[in-house]
Structure 1
Amino acid sequence: MAEPEEELAHAEVLELFQAALARLVQDPLLCDLPPQVTPEEIGSQVALEYGQAMTVRVCKADGETMPVVVVQNATVLELKKALRRHVQLRQARQGGAQHLSWKYIWRTYHLTYAGEKLADDRKKLREYGIRNRDEVSFIKKLRK
């Protein structure tokens, strides 16, 4: 007769998972990731290593630069979504349950690269000439 499988409580499984994740992020490839890393962030880091993704540095008006990872053939819309996810994760880690209105942000600001507005959400970043480690900036829209 087979022995009954040991059942672990959810908290125990979570603890085991967190311990395994902590060991995983000690790997030189993943050591830049935060301790509360998400599986999505690990996937992005691996994609970067294999050349399947790129980092776009998004510069805010206050001078802060946010490294955002997107796939190589990403569109402007995919960059915007990745930026939103980056900010949400950062806020969650800093304990801020602060809500941002992204609808307001995109109504008020443009993303620009080399002086050109990234106006078409469907257009690929590379069509604007954006490559790995390039900087994209937030520019306030002028009132009409």
Structure 2
Amino acid sequence: MDEHEQNYSEAKSEVKDKGNSDEDRDTLSHEELVEVTDTTLSELLGQDPLLGDLPQGVTLEEVGAQVALEQGQSMTIKILRGDGEEMAVVVPQRGATVLDLKRAIRRHVELRLNRSKRSRTLSWRYVWRSHWLYHDAQKLKEDWAQLADYGIHNKSRVKFVKRLREKGVP
């Protein structure tokens, strides 16, 4: 019996110990099944040399991004916030645009807020209207411009800078 079957039988025995009726003994509740699945996935990912450093409660998207990163299909970009915090986001290696980078930043921040159990809502429209992404003395103004056009490659650093109001522009 492998570890997964053992986890499942342990969960079933816990259900039996709770004194459920005969017909409920062979089934797990949704919450119990989710818990067993999460535990099993965490154990499996923890043993994998490539995926072992992923956080608890990892999403399918994060696993896919990590695999693409290991295969050289994606790149990591460091985002420096105004408060000095640094975030690492993953975007595709080929054809990635500024918009892809913005979406990756949004996913990273939302996942971090969810994991820290904060119920804070960010207005991303406000964030992008009040801040530029900045790399090598260039503002990343065009959402559809490719990151390579700005000289952004694997392990590049991009900063958030406050947008200043330009003269003559309302």
**TM-score, normalised via structure 2 length:** 0.78
Rounded to whole Å, the distance in 2 between the matches of 1:47 and 1:130 is: 18
Higher helix share: 2
1:13 aligned onto 2:33: yes
Corresponding residue to 2:91 among 60, 63, 70: 70
Structure 2 counterpart of 1:121, one-letter code: D
Displacement of 1:126 in angstroms is 1.1
> Which fold has the larger relative contact order, with Cα–Cα distance below 8 Å and residues 6 or more apart in sequence?
1
Residue 110 of structure 1 contacts residue 117 of structure 1 at CA under 8 Å; is this kept in 2?
A: yes
Displacement of 1:20 in angstroms is 2.2
Corresponding residue to 1:140 among 154, 157, 162: 162
Which position in structure 1 is the counterpart of 2:127? 105
**Uncovered stretches (5+) of structure 2, i.e. residues with no partner:** 1-25
Which position in structure 2 is the counterpart of 1:23? 43
Displacement of 1:13 in angstroms is 2.6
Rounded to whole Å, the distance in 1 between the matches of 2:92 and 2:50 is: 18
Residue 24 of structure 1 contacts residue 30 of structure 1 at CA under 8 Å; is this kept in 2?
A: no
Moved over 6 A (4+): none
Q: What is the RMSD computed on CA atoms of the aligned residues?
A: 1.2
User: Could you report, residue by residue, the CA deviation over 1:92-139 in whole angstroms, capped at 9, with x for unpaired residues?
Assistant: 111111111110110100001111011110011111111111100001
Per the alignment, in what secondary structure is the counterpart of residue 25 of structure 1?
helix
Corresponding residue to 1:39 among 47, 53, 60: 60
Structure 2 counterpart of 1:33, one-letter code: L
**Bigger shift: residues 123-132 or 18-27:** 18-27
**TM-score, normalised via structure 1 length:** 0.91
Identity of aligned residues (%): 50
Per the alignment, in what secondary structure is the counterpart of residue 104 of structure 1?
helix
Structure with greater Cα Rg: 2
Rounded to whole Å, the distance in 2 between the matches of 1:8 and 1:74 is: 43
**Uncovered stretches (5+) of structure 1, i.e. residues with no partner:** 1-5
Residue 109 of structure 1 contacts residue 141 of structure 1 at CA under 8 Å; is this kept in 2?
A: yes
Rounded to whole Å, the distance in 1 between the matches of 2:63 and 2:40 is: 13
